[in-house]
Amino acid sequence: MASYKSEKINLLNRLSRIEGQVRGLQNMIEDEKYCVDVLTQIAAVKGALNKVGMKILEKHTHGCVKQAVANDQGEEIINELMEVINKFTK
C-alpha cells in the first residue's frame, strides 16, 4: 500500500495544477513570450514538483520506512531512500 494514500486527493490536485502549468508553458512558447518570463514559469513548475516530491518522501519515510524498520527490513529500504534523495538533490 502506498504511504501517501491519505494525501491522494491533495497530490492529484497539485499534479493537475502542474499539468495546467505545463500546458501554459506550451502556450507561452507558441506565442513566443519573452525568454525570461518562460524561464520564471519553468522555475515555478519545478518548485511545484518539488513540493509534491517532498510530500511523498515524507509520507514514505513515516510509512514504508517506519514499517520496514519495525519488521527488521530497514537496511534495504533506507538504501533505496538514500538513492532517491540523491536523485532529488540533483
Q: Determine the angle formed by the axes of helices 74-88 and 35-60, rounding to 10 degrees.
A: 170
Q: Does 71 bind its own copies (CB under 8 A)?
A: no
Q: CA 3 to CA 76: how far, in whole Å? A: 17
- Positions 5 through 24 that interact with its own copies (CB under 8 A): 5, 8, 11-12, 15-16, 18-19, 22-23
Q: CA 51 to CA 18: how far, in whole Å? A: 11
- To the nearest whole angstrom, how small is the minimum distance from the Cβ of residue 24 to its own copies? 10
Per-residue contact track with its own copies, 22 to 51, x per CB under 8 A? Answer: xx-xx--xx-xxxxx-xxx-xx-xxx-xx-
